[in-house]
Amino acid sequence: MLTYRAPTRDISFILTKVLNASGCLGRDGLSDDLIEGVVSEIGRLCENELTPINRDGDEIGCELIDGVVRTPPGFKDAFRSFANGGWIGMCLDAEDGGQGLPEVLNVALHEMIMSACLSFGDYIGLPQAAAKTLAHHASGELRGLYVPNLATGRWGATMCMTEPSCGTDLGLIATSAKQLSDGRYTVNGTKIFISGGDQDITENIVHLVLARLEGAPAGIKGLSLFVCPKFVPNESGGIGDRNAVRPVRLEKKMGYHGISTCEMVFDGAAAWLVGEPNRGLAAMFTMVNTARLLVALQGLGAAEAAYQNAAHYARERLQGRSLNGPLFASQKADPLIVHPDVRRILLGARAFVEGGRALALWLGLQIDLSESGQTDEARTAASDFAALLTPVVKSMFSDLGFETCNSCMQVWGGHGYIRDNGMEQLVRDCRIAQIQEGANGIQALDLLGRKITAENGRAWGAFKNLVRSDLDASAHLDEIKEWSARLLCALESVDVATRDILQRAQHDRNELGSAGVDYLRAFGLVALGWMWVRIVSAALAGDDKARRSEKLAVARFFFARELPKVEGHLVVAQSGADVLMALPSEMV
């Protein structure tokens, strides 16, 4: 059975020493002590409330009984603990029922949730994302009614986009909406793969639905966003009549069993327009981009849990002898941890998890600064960075999360394949992250086709300058001079490849799709290397000798074993679209 110890010490180190979150944000009352206290409390909650229910979430899962979804044992109580602690609305303004804490702390919250019980995360993340979306785009009346109820955990939420014939191509959405004489709307259609589509955790569920008004333009330009509650609020804001929306099926999934994944039917359901007609996709993408970061944290959190359990097993399991002769002569065999290939797996996991943690928290900090930066220039730069790095983090973290869980299962040998030990659950649970909120191939196309070129490459240029600046700042540190030089070369290689791919794409747009996945991984490895330079720099500046030794050792592994993969990915990315497209479709 899986165990989990929240890495609060490392998260606090990243936030306070590597990123200097309190200094960057400059908020009244936000201090290193507050950050460490929040992280510690969240870690305690995840260990005590979520780890014990993870197994039942997988083995028992959700059930659809008489039109209502029943969640696994313990999920309702755990949700209430998070709601009562104010963690659902932690980043919302106090006037909306929140605590006014920065988004970067929400990143820490969700990493730990995903490690302790991955399938629980959407029950927290969806109302957070819905509240943020409504706070930004809804009218004052809608905001006043819905956002506080979402922030306090009284009401849950969903994001209703996908349909039986419409996945990534949202222009194919067929769900329709019609305006009534009293200003309300009715919604008709079917949505599938809806996380949390129904549940018995909250008293109401707020569905945010993309639909097409009568006479609206075809494609994505004709989509509007509607709020469609499970129970229509009465005049006092309480629970009123049941709305004409219902779950008709629970999907049977590979993993991720603790979250209800529903097919939902809207049969003339009462709804209210959010924002302007035919501008729904822009509003919905506030929720989508929030969700993409949370999906990245599914991969990161699962990898942390996999690493912890694999490392513990490798220290305890006796198997074989060291290649240089017995190290524990009094025992019948040496522990697995003495074997180089086991070390390769564990150090690879740790290099991703600790570097990825820093990158995810840095991205959360950019989201904060995009709203609270002291100048227009600072807010624009942070917004650019958030847009540029979101597809990188979503795609790479979900890929590496799955790869890490799979390789850590290998450490357990045959015992990893046995359900009782829990390692195979991590593999099954985190596999969804590579698919949901935009499959990873789409993220790669978004990065190379949109984000890199936006505003004449402004964000990409700023990112390169930021990395170079940090490398210059650490140039005096003897311990990392060589690593910084390698990273600078890798950054320049990505820059050259960027220009080459974009130039060829002017004649054949398939070059973007052909190069995208490998280009994104190369970009992501450079970003992880940048974080490792910052991590080691902060560790060297501190007086914790054990941390310094550990960080130097893991960074050494990263720069020797992971960063060199950049060149291989770029060779593939620049191999040309014809390699993929020359064979006729009927012969593929």
Q: Under DSSP, is residue 229 helix (H, G, I), strand (E, B) or coil? A: strand
Question: 426: closest CA among 440, 443, 442, 412?
Answer: 412
Q: Cα torsion for 497, 500, 502, 505, to the nearest 10°?
A: -130
Q: Is 437 a catalytic residue?
A: yes
Q: Is 348 within 8 Å of 404 (Cβ atoms)?
A: yes
410 alpha carbon, distance to own chain's centre: 25
Q: Is 110 within 8 Å of 125 (Cβ atoms)?
A: yes
Q: Cα torsion for 545, 106, 436, 390, to the nearest 10°?
A: -70
Active-site choice (437, 455, 482, 567):
437
Please calculate the CA angle 127-167-129 and round it to the nearest 5 degrees. Answer: 15
- Measured CA to CA, the distance from residue 523 to residue 391 in angstroms comes to 11
Element (H, E) at 588: none
Residues 6+ apart with CB under 8 A from 298: 114, 118, 121, 398, 401, 429, 430, 432, 433
Q: Is 243 within 8 Å of 266 (Cβ atoms)?
A: no
Q: 445 in the Ramachandran plot: left (φ > 0), alpha (ψ -120 to 50) or beta?
A: alpha
Which pairing describes strands 185-195 and 63-65: parallel, antiparallel, or unpaired?
A: unpaired
Exposed, middle or buried, 89 (CB in 10 Å: 0-12/13-18/19+)?
A: buried
Q: Is 184 within 8 Å of 272 (Cβ atoms)?
A: yes
Active site amino acids: 437
